[in-house]
Structure 1
Amino acid sequence: MRLSKAAKDVSKFATVALVDVDSEDIQVYIKYYDITLIPSTVFFFNAHHMKMDSGTADHTKWISAFHKRQDFIDVVEAIFRGAVKGKLIVNFPLPPERVPKYQLLYKDV
């Protein structure tokens, strides 16, 4: 999926920012959100971290690429609608078969 095309579709209610994970400026965030797998997508609304319950152990980020542009748009829209209602965690709007399966490994645990 080309993120630049999807960014145009959600531009009325969201901003998409691509970040270089090797940049020294964001290393504190990389560690805080435990971004070890790329691509990872983290959602924010008015500087508050938004979580998403997709049935996986990690609600803090989406780990994997989105299969379709519409999948990304649906997730961003669900995050936005939940955030406007004051929720800090929203339910994943896509069917479970579109959720990538992975096992989380935590350092020093």
Structure 2
Amino acid sequence: MVTEDHKLKNHELPIDDVLAKSALDVSKFATVALVDVDSDDVQVYPHYFDITLIPSTIFFHNAHHIKMDSGTADHTKWIGAFRTKQDFIDVVEAIFRGAMKGKLIVNCPLPPERIPRYQLYYKDV
């Protein structure tokens, strides 16, 4: 059941719900970890990957950062919520298959209409 406080645009599920529901499905080839960006233990990562929009998803394989070309300007991370559980599984599977082939950047398997788009506005520029 989704309350009024948790309704998102375009029928997107909250990112933690998608990740929690998908963790078992991808457990054969991926581990899902949620990280609090305000934690003192991980402050280098939000700065290094420029995590200013939440939720953001970053992909690693054997301690190597794997990038994804989703048609956005930023290939280092997925910005926004996944629309469905299957979208998340498809992206993780594409990352895994590309990483197993030694690729450092993979193409997004989702159609463009299911990729979140953000118009960034900068203050005081």
TM over 0.5: yes
Gaps of 5+ in 2: 1-12
Is the CA contact 1:51–1:60 (under 8 Å) kept in the aligned structure 2?
A: yes
How many Å separate the matches in 2 of 1:61 and 1:105? 19
- In structure 2, the partner of 1:99 is 115
How many Å separate the matches in 2 of 1:51 and 1:106? 24
RMSD of equivalent CA atoms: 1.7
Gaps of 5+ in 1: none
Q: Give the CA deviation at 1:5.
A: 1.3
- % identical aligned pairs: 80
How many Å separate the matches in 2 of 1:31 and 1:103? 21
Distance change in 2, residues 1:25/1:105 (3 Å): farther
CA deviation vs aligned residue, 1:11-30 (integer Å, no higher than 9, x gap): 00000000011101111110
Q: Give the CA deviation at 1:41.
A: 0.1
User: Is 2:28 the counterpart of 1:12?
Assistant: yes
How many Å separate the matches in 1 of 2:103 and 2:121? 28
Alignment: residue pair count = 109
